[in-house]
Structure 1
Amino acid sequence: MEKAEPEVRSNSDAGGPGDGLAGLRERGFARYGAEQLGITPLGSAAARDLAGMREAFADLPPDPYAPGTNRFRRYSHAVYLPWKDELSWIPGTPDPVHGTVTDFAVGQNEPEHPPTRRALPGVPETLLGNPLLLRLLRWDIEQVLSLKNLGRRPLWAGVHFIKLRVDHPGQDAVSSPNCLHQDGGSAGTFTFAHLISRTNVTGGQNVIATPDSAGLQPEDPWADIHARFTLTHPLEGYAVHDHRVSHYVGPVRAGSEPGPGERSILIVGLAPYVPQL
């Protein structure tokens, strides 16, 4: 087993794994474990569904826009209609290599990239009905609906499968953007993260900071840090109300065991649907 990094908090209000929705409302970020999701201990059905998700992560293609970072990813869209309690996946564009691809907008709050639209490999259709994936997605939606009056607007969901993998000592796998950042910066944007697996790696520490810290490294003396923590257990995660904080995850490196290491995480971005007309 890897040695977990010690959790560091910059103030007494940083919250813990059971912090829950109250922290998201009061401070703009919260942590949670599988207990808050209502799926612990993992029963046979949940364990089977988690294994199915891990199989999909094992087969993730390299990030086509970040060569050399040892990052792998897939991405798909869904729309939730609150007045019908209806969740629907948006079909991707057929692609001969990846099955489908999904448009992904990189905006002003991505300091490493200019505003542009990209196409990322889509989440396989066979996984879109995975009961655990749907349960996590619906739990995230419930938290947002509890905080914002969005019952009369469709809710847009961006679903990311992201893996950081290292094959040998001395190798790094880097997330993007590799600095404190915000995902959308709007009052209606929320981001949820759920750890799927973490095997034979060190690093990957999460950092939550003030919005003014976006674009900085956590070690920068001008960065105003709220909390530092490392996700280690399956389905452990965190949520951020995007305009109220910035966030970051550090690189991962090979652990002490022989063979490769990986950190796989489900990222769900939620925001009110904005008409384009």
Structure 2
Amino acid sequence: MDTILDSDGRPAATGAPGTADRPPEPPTVEQAVRVRRDGYARLGAADLGVDLEAMADDFARLAGAYDDLPPDPYAKETNRFRRYSHAVYLPWTGELSYIPGAPDDEFGTVTEYWQDEHNPEYPRVRRRLPDIPTALHGNRLLDALIRADLEHALWLEGLHRVPVYVGIHLIALGVRDRDQVAVSSPNCLHQDGGSPATFTFAHLVGRRNIEGGENVIATPESAGRQPDALPPEAVHDRFVLSDPLDGYGVHDCRVSHYVGPVRLGDDGPEGRRDILIVGVAPYTPGL
């Protein structure tokens, strides 16, 4: 059997994190191993150990939160809508706790979102984004998804002995006529940056009456470029998320990722792509 290496080339820790309240272990071991081995993996509900039928009410409440997402306050012309919040996970207890946002006159509370220089559209800009609704803090499905994502990341030894930062991002790309195009940010292959122990997970919440929205996973050197400008050997995977909770996970330092623009389909006057993004990274000491 091949030895699985971490991002520094050392044998990866494969044991359980040893918490008192462990996240559920995903049943599809193959997919969990792929995140370690390849730096990315396609992940669906079954791979995450999530019973969507049993959590139908929680899914409906999560999906409903996308109905009133405000436009991206930094790019209202992009037809991108979003909310964002922080949480902290303690690996040694299994506790997940949301961090209160800062008061804001327009949105109630906001949370700072910073990508250093990894987002060429907002280099070193500390964006303040509207928080996710507090009603979602107790949502069983959202909690299960976050904990399943953590299970896919906690094989990395560096995440076992520090508080783990979790970024929860609700993003919709919505279009209302044939002339509109909705784009993600940045609109190119990119990495989220911050730490060799950073992971990003995406879970489709809804897709209706749209064209486009293709996901691409490529080499880290491809960051900043468009997928069609790459040589074939630089592209690891191309796919379109279509079913509820279809998604993927990436070990950020080992790949780059991208989602293409969205345009209106043929079945009505409105189209949307609703996605949940969960970012995982270690908190760094401040003293």
TM-score (norm 1): 0.90
1:118 to 127, 132, 136: 127
Runs of 4+ in 1 over 4 A off after TM superposition: none
**1:95-150 CA-partner distances (Å, limit 9, x unpaired):** 23212100111311112222121210001111111111111111111111134342
Q: Is this contact kept in 1: 2:190–2:224, CA < 8 A? A: yes
Secondary structure in 1 aligned to 2:46? helix
Aligned match of 1:161: 170
Deviation, structure 1 residue 39: 2.6
User: Structure 1's 166 and 274: CA in aligned 2 closer, same or farther, altered over 3 A?
Assistant: same
- Give the counterpart letter for 2:103 in structure 1: P
Secondary structure in 1 aligned to 2:66? helix
Deviation, structure 1 residue 41: 5.2
In the alignment, the residues of structure 1 paired with residue 196 and residue 236 of structure 2 have an alpha-carbon distance, to the nearest angstrom, of: 19
Deviation, structure 1 residue 258: 1.2
Aligned match of 1:255: 265
Unaligned runs of 5+ in 2: 1-27
Secondary structure in 1 aligned to 2:47? helix
User: Structure 1's 136 and 144: CA in aligned 2 closer, same or farther, altered over 3 A?
Assistant: same
Q: Is this contact kept in 1: 2:115–2:193, CA < 8 A? A: no
Q: Is this contact kept in 2: 1:18–1:31, CA < 8 A? A: no
**1:207-266 CA-partner distances (Å, limit 9, x unpaired):** 000011000000114571111000000011100000000000000111110121100000
Aligned match of 2:207: 198
TM-score (norm 2): 0.87
Q: Is this contact kept in 2: 1:185–1:243, CA < 8 A? A: no
Question: In the alignment, does 2:149 pair up with 1:131?
Answer: no
1:68 to 73, 77, 82: 77
Q: Is this contact kept in 2: 1:162–1:265, CA < 8 A? A: yes
Secondary structure in 2 aligned to 1:171? coil
Aligned match of 1:33: 44
Alignment of 1:76-225 (within 5 A): 76-184=85-193, 186-222=195-231, 224-225=234-235
Deviation, structure 1 residue 18: 9.0
Q: Percent identity?
A: 56
- Give the counterpart letter for 1:108 in structure 2: E
Q: Is this contact kept in 1: 2:101–2:109, CA < 8 A? A: yes
Alignment of 1:262-273 (within 5 A): 262-273=272-283
Q: Is this contact kept in 2: 1:213–1:222, CA < 8 A? A: no
Secondary structure in 2 aligned to 1:127? helix
More deviation, 132-141/95-104: 95-104
2:253 to 227, 240, 243: 243
Aligned match of 1:7: none
Aligned match of 1:20: 31
Secondary structure in 2 aligned to 1:35? coil
Q: Is this contact kept in 2: 1:194–1:267, CA < 8 A? A: yes
Secondary structure in 2 aligned to 1:80? strand
1:42 to 34, 53, 57: 53
In the alignment, the residues of structure 2 paired with residue 113 and residue 72 of structure 1 have an alpha-carbon distance, to the nearest angstrom, of: 17
- Give the counterpart letter for 2:124 in structure 1: P
Unaligned runs of 5+ in 1: 1-16
In the alignment, the residues of structure 2 paired with residue 168 and residue 157 of structure 1 have an alpha-carbon distance, to the nearest angstrom, of: 35
- Give the counterpart letter for 1:267 in structure 2: I
In the alignment, the residues of structure 1 paired with residue 240 and residue 61 of structure 2 have an alpha-carbon distance, to the nearest angstrom, of: 24
Deviation, structure 1 residue 185: 5.7
User: Structure 1's 40 and 73: CA in aligned 2 closer, same or farther, altered over 3 A?
Assistant: same
In the alignment, the residues of structure 2 paired with residue 162 and residue 180 of structure 1 have an alpha-carbon distance, to the nearest angstrom, of: 18
